Structure 1
Amino acid sequence: MSSLSPSPSLASPPPSLASPPPSLASPSPSLATPSPSLAAPSRVLPGDPLRTAPSADPASRPASLLGARRLRLALCLLPVLLAAGWAVANRPVVYEGVRRLVAADPGWLLAGAGLTGLNCVAAACVRQGALPDRVRPGLLLASQFAAGAANHALPGGFGVHAVTLRFLRTQGVPPARATASIGLYSLAKSAAKTGVLLVFLAATPAWRRLGGLVPDGRLPVPAVAAGGAVAAAGVLLTVVRPLRRPVTGLLRSALADAREVHTRPCRVLALWGGAVAMPLVQGATLACVGASLGLGLPWQHVVLAYLAAGTAVGAVPAPGGFAVDAALVWTLAAFGCAPAAATATVIGYRVLTDWVPLLPGTLLLSALIRAKVL
């Protein structure tokens, strides 16, 4: 029996075959864990999207945030300070206009206030009609109301255009298209106002009284200034070649946008309908103020006086339209109105359309700046 039992040498394998050598049983420590040089980069690469370099100076971030908040607060308070300074500088005019408006007929003044708000709606329609892109109508209307306050700080309507351009840029409109829309807005507004003036001149025989306001043998100052500006622009574009390429590119973009706008009936209606409505609404507002103060002129004569005065000296770069106001007083007097009544009407019109909306307009402008809409 003992001869049939396996020998110890065959019962168990030799130690060399039973277990692998230590070198093969467990990986080397150099292979089990990666090298520190491979596990994490020793420095942050400039283009690494997974890692961001820590701030060099953590204390500088609160200081920069504080500086940005102060700058935003200064921009919000700047329109309010400008409005307050303008009111203080024009205390007699403000007092006289308010005194006469207090004694005026409130019904006609309320109608004039409603027409003033309708003018902002018409301006917003023209802005949207001049732009192929669609912007939010509520914010567009708010920007146009706030732009009226900025118009007192810059002459020639530049404040309205600056606010509108900033608004369009925040709404994602490209710079070339936004600038082209402002040019189309100005062109449509001027062309529509001239057309409405020609219609009133043809329908109202009282235009003959305006002949005494035109200088004999001399061109009006705005016509000379406009001709000189056009000539200077032509000389600059001809002589200075670096200006030619961006200007021609802008004109090309403006023409393309104008063609695209006029292929859409809704844009055409908004552009030209609003442009025609704006001078009519403004002239009707002046007629309402004149009726409240007992001006004694038919509304056709008042609207014609407004159109004639605005067209004659509208190109004069004066903040707040003071040149237009002076010409309007003379035009109303030429139609047979007493100078005192004409002055009171113009002051009341300016108080109702500019000075009364000035405070809410500046507050709205500050709110839009704080909300980063402008």
Structure 2
Amino acid sequence: MSSLRLDAPAPPVSPAPARPLRLALCLCPLLLVVVWGLTNRSLAQEGAVRLARADPWWLLVGGGCTCLGWVAAACVRQGAVPDRLPPGLLLASQFAAGAANHALPGGIGAHLVTLRFLRGRGVPPARATASIALYSLAKTAAKTLVLLVFLLVFQDTPLLDVIVPDGPPPLPVLAVAVTGVAAAGVLVTVVRPLRRPVTGLLRTALADARQLHTRPGRVLALWGGATAMPLLQGCVLASVAAALGLAVPWGQVVFAHLAAGTAAGAVPAPGGLAVDAALVFSLAACGAPVAAATATVIGYRVLTDWLPLLPGTLVLSALIRAKVL
């Protein structure tokens, strides 16, 4: 009898303690939406009133460009990892990642959602982290190339005098940049606990990048999507400007969006709110009245951030509840 008792299987561990945590994770995005709505109620109302008076067809074009932006982001994510990802869940994760960006600054929310998604699909941690680095590198490089093309095309625009000042770069800016690069190199070289994971990540990233660039489909998804993303975002702003009757050419509005994002994109603010002032300033430099430029930026935020926020949060909660994230 005693041997039978010893050989009996242990009772299963109850998953009850994990359920409250998962429930809290599902409800946390909804709580963030409520807090955001209460703190930005006046801006949301003003944006809704102005959009109600705008041309609905141009707003529909802007909404379509917003949706295409999520498709482009999903293409870049797939192009940055050798493993094949389910297209539907990948697109849903990028839609949910937009809501996560309102909680964490500098795109960290979207990267964390994508990292959880990749880990849930069986992608190893090193490869998942390397894909995020490749995504960021491709996005930055493609946006820089697009901006350079616009700089060549719009050489006579007044905005060029604002974003490209005369004279050499300020010495403090160069000093900070050189100091940051040197400090990072010293830390990686001297601190052994940092050196091993960083070198391992670099090896994985380089190996994956070489493998991905031997596959034309991945190259097209990575670089085509990265090039389309800033152009689609600029088209959303241009569509809102056209809907509100802003007398600025379409190409200059897209150029203003690229310039503002480059100037203020490094500021760590949730949801890209630090870029709004730069957007207004850039549109004003193109000849738009300040009031009309402000209304355009508010309408842009309504289409890209405020309207997708609640459905994106619901999708994020659903993905957490379904254990996709």
Scaled by the length of structure 1, the TM-score of the pair is 0.82
Counterpart of 1:44? 6
Matched letter for residue 372 of structure 1: K
Counterpart of 1:33? none
Q: How does 1:82-97 map to 2 (within 5 A)?
A: 82-97=32-47
Contact preservation (8 Å) 2:81, 2:212: yes
d(CA) in 2 for partners of 1:347, 1:223: 34
Contact preservation (8 Å) 2:159, 2:256: no
Once the two structures are TM-superposed, the CA of residue 69 in structure 1 deviates from its matched residue by 2.1
Contact preservation (8 Å) 1:192, 1:275: yes
Counterpart of 1:209? 159
Q: How does 1:272-291 map to 2 (within 5 A)?
A: 272-291=223-242
| 1:99 maps onto 2:49 in alignment | yes
Counterpart of 1:17? none
Q: C-alpha offsets along residues 189-245 of structure 1, whole Å, 9 cap, x if unaligned?
A: 000000011111111234453323556766499877655543332221133122111
1:243 and 1:68, CA in 2 relative to 1: closer, same or farther beyond 3 A? same
Matched letter for residue 168 of structure 1: L
Matched letter for residue 53 of structure 2: A
Counterpart of 1:235? 186
d(CA) in 2 for partners of 1:101, 1:220: 44
1:65 and 1:209, CA in 2 relative to 1: closer, same or farther beyond 3 A? closer
Q: Number of matched residues?
A: 324
d(CA) in 2 for partners of 1:179, 1:222: 30
Residues 228-237 or 247-256, more deviating = 228-237
Q: C-alpha offsets along residues 157-196 of structure 1, whole Å, 9 cap, x if unaligned?
A: 0000000000000000000000000000000000000001
Match of 1:180 among 115, 130, 134: 130
| 1:81 maps onto 2:81 in alignment | no
Counterpart of 2:144? 194
1:287 and 1:154, CA in 2 relative to 1: closer, same or farther beyond 3 A? same
Counterpart of 1:119? 69
Counterpart of 2:268? 317
Give the secondary structure class of the aligned counterpart of 1:41: helix
d(CA) in 2 for partners of 1:213, 1:197: 11
Counterpart of 2:244? 293
Please give the root-mean-square deviation of Cα atoms over the aligned residues, in Å: 2.1
1:102 and 1:80, CA in 2 relative to 1: closer, same or farther beyond 3 A? same
Which structure shows the bigger proportion of residues in helix conformation? Answer: 2
1:52 and 1:227, CA in 2 relative to 1: closer, same or farther beyond 3 A? farther
Match of 2:10 among 25, 34, 53: 53
Residues 298-307 or 90-99, more deviating = 90-99
| 1:349 maps onto 2:311 in alignment | no
Q: How does 1:102-181 map to 2 (within 5 A)?
A: 102-181=52-131
Counterpart of 1:8? none
d(CA) in 1 for partners of 2:308, 2:173: 29
Give the secondary structure class of the aligned counterpart of 1:356: helix
Q: C-alpha offsets along residues 84-138 of structure 1, whole Å, 9 cap, x if unaligned?
A: 1011111221111111111111100011001100000000000000100001000
> Radius of gyration: which is bigger?
1
d(CA) in 1 for partners of 2:172, 2:251: 27
- More relative contact order in 1 or in 2 (CA 8 Å, sep 6+)? 2
Give the secondary structure class of the aligned counterpart of 2:105: coil
Q: C-alpha offsets along residues 51-93 of structure 1, whole Å, 9 cap, x if unaligned?
A: 42347xxxxx6xx543322221111110011011011111221
Q: How does 1:246-285 map to 2 (within 5 A)?
A: 246-285=197-236
Q: C-alpha offsets along residues 226-273 of structure 1, whole Å, 9 cap, x if unaligned?
A: 555433322211331221111001101100000000000000000001
Scaled by the length of structure 2, the TM-score of the pair is 0.94
